[in-house]
Amino acid sequence: MSALVIRGQRVLLDGELRPAALHIDNGRITRISPYEGSTGTQTVDAGTKLVAPGVVDSHVHINEPGRTEWEGFRTATEAAAAGGITTLVDMPLNCIPATTSRAAAEAKRIELASQLHVDVAFWGGVIPGNVGELEGLARFGVPGCKCFLCPSGVDEFPHVGKDDLEEALPVLKELGLTLLVHAEAPGPLEVAEAAVEGADPRRYDTYLRSRPARAEDEAIAMVIALAKKYRARAHIVHLASGGAVELIARAQADGVAISAETCLHYLGFHDGDIPDGATHYKCAPPIRDAANREQLWKGLERGVLTQVVSDHSPCTPALKKPDTGDFVGAWGGIASLQLGLSALWTMARARGHGVAQVWRWNSEGPAQLAGLQRRKGKLAPGFDADVVIWDEEKSFVVKGEALHHRHKVTPWAGRTLQGVVEQTWVGGKLAYSAEAGLAPAQGKFLSVQQ
Ligand SMILES: [Zn+2]
């Protein structure tokens, strides 16, 4: 008899909802049997609530060590567990030291020991001059490395140029690592910034005009050319330019190994939603207009974009400059980790998508990108027993005090979202339940070997 059976009338298996029972031993799903008559030493019956894979968020900034006052492993993973997210991949910047060497990765791993409520992997970083560190990062277990093509906002993570990528890409390819790119070209940004000089910094329009879509489009064209030249794998993080979807689609049709994600806030908001001074909407690239948002949705629906992530990037409330509403001076980054599943479901359902599509975007796609596709993102024998039991009919109003993020500032506050997490299981252990709240931290670090 299995140690644990989680069963229900609506279990998401291979893109379909059907009655089934998940048998779980030693943290893994060992087999899947019919619902009727399946029990374990412990049996959890979800009834008609949805039983689905735990969500994978492959784009999260946790900022620890070094900027733990912005966010930390304990608070971020508590928020994840409460939001039905069972795996996070932490970005290499905003923590100090930045994750650009094996030694830095090891230091971060020590920092997070015993704090994890869900499983966590790391991205490494590519900065000028660290090509010699990439092999060590691969051995440590990062699935890929991220770079910036424009200033990142923190001094410890300088941006790279084309020459740096010409050096790094063949090495990444050899190591089996994906290059993740913050794709905004510095040239068009400088021109645009000069053009808004003297404009009112409280106006959202001032900030939006300072980061035009052509900066993304130009950078993405360069990344495509380099990925093609070196036959390397590249991934565009947080795509905000709807116009770039076509560029990426053409490259994919041409056989270039390029993928892209977009974020909750680009799908949920447009510039008309953002009042002047409302700096909690500030992120880079910026939230653009409604027609652009429609292009991003179309990109997802066509399968050009394969995933939706939070890009949870919080800071202390003061750095958002709420007193002055200064869009130019405020930190760029939106906090939304805990809300990802419900926010995406609310938006996707309104567009006629079902839960299977939502889980392709928020679990299968991110698991694939992070090299975790053989253990995360699906309910199947051999996969980790990461499960969310979810009531997709129930709605709630987002209130800051219900968020486990270290800071409660988020542009989603006050909005009504659909879908409430009943239980989150990580590796066959209950991590969160609506009834009892958070369980003690039992998540683990994931080393990803390509
Ligand atoms: Zn980010």
Domain boundaries of the chain, sorted by first residue? 4-51+384-392+418-438, 54-369
Report the predicted TM-score, pTM, of the whole model to 2 decimal places: 0.97
Distance 91 CA to ligand 1 centre (A): 7
For residue 11, pLDDT beyond 80 = yes
Give the integer Cα–Cα distance in Å for 341 and 349: 12
CA 70 to ligand 1 center in whole angstroms: 14
* Straight-line distance from the first to the last Cα atom of the chain, in angstroms, rounded to the nearest whole number: 34
Tokens encoding 345: 């479901």
Ligand 1 center–CA 218 separation, angstroms: 19
**pLDDT tens string 160-184:** 999 999 999 999 999 999 999 999 9
pLDDT band at residue 113 under the 50/70/90 scheme: confident
Instruction: Give the tens place of pLDDT for each residue, 322-374.
Output: 889 999 999 999 999 999 999 999 999 999 999 999 999 999 999 999 999 99
Task: Answer whether residue 450 shows pLDDT above 80.
Answer: no
57 neighbors 337 (Cβ within 8 angstroms): yes
Lowest mean pLDDT among 61-75, 122-136, 222-236: 61-75
- The structure tokens listed for 254 are 């041409």
Q: How far apart are CA 185 and CA 319, in angstroms?
A: 25
Kindly give, in sequence order, each residue whose CB lies less than 8 Å from that of residue 7, ignoring residues fewer than 6 positions away.
19, 20, 21, 22, 35, 38, 43, 44, 45, 46, 51
In the reported structure, the alpha carbon of residue 58 is separated from the centroid of ligand 1 by a whole-number distance in angstroms of 10
Residue-level pLDDT at 449: 86
For residue 255, the tally of other CB atoms under 10 A from its CB is 9
| % of the chain at pLDDT higher than 70 | 100
Residue 79 has pLDDT above 80, yes or no: yes
Q: How many helices (H) does the chain have, and how many strands (E)?
A: 13, 18
Concatenating the DSSP letter of every residue in 282-339 gives --SSPP--HHHHHHHHHHHHTTSS-EEE--B----GGGG-TTTT-TTTSPP-B--GGG
CATH superfamily of 54-369: Metal-dependent hydrolases (3.20.20.140)
Measure 183 CA to ligand 1 centroid, in angstroms.
11
Cα–Cα dist 359/388, whole Å: 11
Distance 433 CA to ligand 1 centre (A): 29
pLDDT band at 187 (very low <50, low <70, confident <90, very high): very high
Nearest to 207 by CA among 286, 273, 274: 286
pLDDT at 294 over 80: yes
Q: Which residues surround ligand 1, an ion (CB under 5 A)?
A: 311
Q: How far is CA 64 from the centre of its chain?
A: 17
- Cα–Cα dist 22/34, whole Å: 9
The alpha carbon dihedral of 67, 72, 75, 79 has a sign of positive
pLDDT in tens, 259-289: 999 999 999 999 999 999 999 999 999 999 9
How many Cα atoms occupy the beta-carbon half-sphere of 248 within 13 Å?
31
Mean pLDDT taken over the chain: 97
Strand partners of residue 179: 145, 234
pLDDT band (50, 70, 90) for residue 190: very high
Mean pLDDT for 58-85 is 96
3-state secondary structure of 250: helix
pLDDT at residue 396 tops 80 = yes
How far does residue 334's CA lie from ligand 1's centre (Å)? 9
- How many angstroms is it from 248 CA to the middle of ligand 1? 20
CA–CA dist 370, 144 (Å, integer): 7
Right CATH for 4-51+384-392+418-438 from 1.20.1250.20, 1.20.120.140, 3.40.50.10860, 2.30.40.10: 2.30.40.10
Instruction: Give the 3-state secondary structure of 170-212.
Output: HHHHHHCCEEEEECCCHHHHHHHHHHCCCCCCCCHHHHHHHCC
CA 7 to ligand 1 centroid distance, Å: 36
The three-point CA angle 115-79-420 to 5° equals 140
